[in-house]
Amino acid sequence: MLDNNQLLRFTTAGSVDDGKSTLIGRLLYDSKSIFEDQLQAIENTSKKKGLENVDLALFTDGLRDEREQGITIDVAYRYFTTPKRKFIIADTPGHIQYTRNMVTGASTANVATILIDARHGVIEQTKRHAFIASLLNIPHIIVCINKMDLVDFSEEVYNKIVREFEEIASKLLVTDVRFIPMSALNGDNVVNRSTNMPWYQGAPMLHTLETMHIGSDINKVDARFPVQTVLRPQREGYIDYRGYAGRVASGIFRKGDAVTIMPSGFTSKIKGINLEDKELDEAYAPMSVSITLEDDIDISRGDMIVRSNNKPEASQDIEVMLCWLNNSPAKPRAKYSIRHTSNEQTAMIKEVVYKYDINTLDRITGDTELKMNDISKVKIRTTKPLMVDSYRENRTTGSIILVDDATNETVAAGMIV
């Protein structure tokens, strides 16, 4: 039984042509995560299409339109487990118009896998994927240099691509990058070690995913507890009970800790931490618990409990790297609802500082229109203070979304600078 096994979430970026679907299919197939009836279904489809071998890429097709058009439209989630870890794959489309899906898939990932076709090396799309992984602060990147079989498993080709990628990476904020030469089609270095590339000393992809250290991916320093809702049982034994329900965003809370409630500034001490009827001595991210305090204080959804000696910044003016996700462009000085942890306020985009040219990664000034898939640095003013940390420090208390009240749609995602 996998009692202490961790959950690792990774995202795959690449276009159909890079062999992304084949890689996922291979990973699932060789780790024996594909069931017989699923395999039967794709064998039938492969035959219908007149293919000689089973096309593992078919395994990731979901919606009818995707099967018909042979493309991935939306993020799909896949699951597999090995004796070492449970994995969640966010399979995101790699086409240029689908930046929003990549951002979505990347937002919760520990690891970004970026596919490169060994014949083509680093292309604009690779830059875009690396940029988004860096922007979303994904802690680890695995660069899969695929289709090595088509370049005679050449170490030279591999080294050249590694150098090209390192040049991009040097301009981005990425810390942990690993390179794996592979052939997803034939299974080289995906689950099983390749015998075709004896010059490669590293581990195959699955082993890398199984063993990489992810325990430090979550911020354990800054104790933040956004209150989701207040539990008031109103029943015998619990007449005066007020439990603050939420999920620890970061850091560690212990019984007896001196805490401050933001934004009110009231202080108290933690009386108890509970998960159902279990009393806990401490709670850390990402645990869902309820917290009781020594003092009777007015606390509601949107407030944040923090340790008194380490508080986030309370601010109405925030600078954000904003990714526009909606077909309708941002309206100048229009108001949006802003969501930050459990807090909701009204916000206005006051200024577009610059926009990124997503292909060259150059900053463009003077163009203030925010269209679908645009990534830009903006200044936002909110009606009341938000309790923020920088996204680099804290992915939970450093992220926001904007909602258009006219359509109720989520129109933008932002990372607080």
Partner 1 sequence: MSKYYLNYLDELESEAIFILREVWAQFQNPVILFSGGKDSILVAHLAKKAFYPAKIPFPLMHVDTGHNFPETIKFRDDILKELGVNLIVGSVQESINDGRVAEEKGKNATRNALQITTLLDAIEANKVDCAIGGGRRDEEKARAKERFFSHRDDFGQWDPKNQRPELWNIFNGKHFQGEHFRAFPISNWTEMDVWNYIKRENIAIPSLYFAHEREVVWRQDSWIPNSEFLVLEDHEEIVTKKIRFRTLGDITITGGIESDADTLEKIAEEVSGMRQTERGNRTDDKRSESAMEDRKRQGYF
> Site residues for partner 1, window 55-84 (CB under 8 A)?
61-65, 67, 73-79, 81
CA distance 283 to 268: 17
Which region holds residue 232: left if phi is over 0, alpha if psi is between -120 and 50, else beta? beta
Q: For the window 345-384, what string marks contact with partner 1 as x by the rule CB under 8 A?
A: ----------------------------------------
- Please calculate the CA angle 29-178-80 and round it to the nearest 5 degrees: 25
The residue (of 143 and 330) whose beta carbon lies closer to partner 1 is: 330
- Output the smallest distance, CB 120 to partner 1, in A: 29
Answer yes or no: are the C-beta atoms of 243 and 289 closer than 8 Å: no
Q: Which of residues 161-190 bind partner 1 (CB under 8 A)?
A: none
CA distance 381 to 400: 13
Place of tokens 């096994």: 5
- Output the smallest distance, CB 105 to partner 1, in A: 9
The residue (of 126 and 342) whose beta carbon lies closer to partner 1 is: 342
Give the other-Cβ count within 10 Å of 295's Cβ: 10
Angle, helices 124-135/99-106, rounded to nearest 10 degrees: 40
The residue (of 116 and 387) whose beta carbon lies closer to partner 1 is: 387
- Output the smallest distance, CB 73 to partner 1, in A: 6
**Binding-site member from 159, 192, 208, 337 for partner 1 (CB under 8 A):** 337
CA distance 374 to 187: 36
- Output the smallest distance, CB 243 to partner 1, in A: 7
The residue (of 1 and 265) whose beta carbon lies closer to partner 1 is: 1
The H or E element that residue 37 is part of is helix 36-48
User: Does residue 392 touch partner 1 according to CB under 8 A?
Assistant: no
**Binding-site member from 16, 168, 203, 287 for partner 1 (CB under 8 A):** 287
- Output the smallest distance, CB 210 to partner 1, in A: 13
- HSE of 32 in the Cβ direction (CA atoms, 13 Å)? 2
**Binding-site member from 94, 210, 395, 416 for partner 1 (CB under 8 A):** 395
CA distance 159 to 200: 11
Q: Which of residues 197-256 bind partner 1 (CB under 8 A)?
A: 214-215, 218, 220, 228-229, 231-235, 237-238, 241, 243, 245-247, 252
Binding-site size for partner 1 (CB under 8 A) equals 82
Answer yes or no: are the C-beta atoms of 348 and 333 closer than 8 Å: yes
**Binding-site member from 13, 115, 400, 416 for partner 1 (CB under 8 A):** 400
- Output the smallest distance, CB 340 to partner 1, in A: 8
Q: How far is CA 306 from CA 258, 270, 310, in A?
A: 9, 11, 7
CA distance 374 to 323: 6
- Output the smallest distance, CB 189 to partner 1, in A: 25
- Please calculate the CA angle 64-65-70 and round it to the nearest 5 degrees: 105
Q: Which of residues 107-146 bind partner 1 (CB under 8 A)?
A: 107-108
The residue (of 82 and 159) whose beta carbon lies closer to partner 1 is: 82
The residue (of 319 and 344) whose beta carbon lies closer to partner 1 is: 344
Tell me which DSSP letter residue 1 carries.
Answer: -
Q: Which of residues 19-38 bind partner 1 (CB under 8 A)?
A: 35-38
Is the Cα dihedral 290, 292, 298, 304 positive or negative? negative
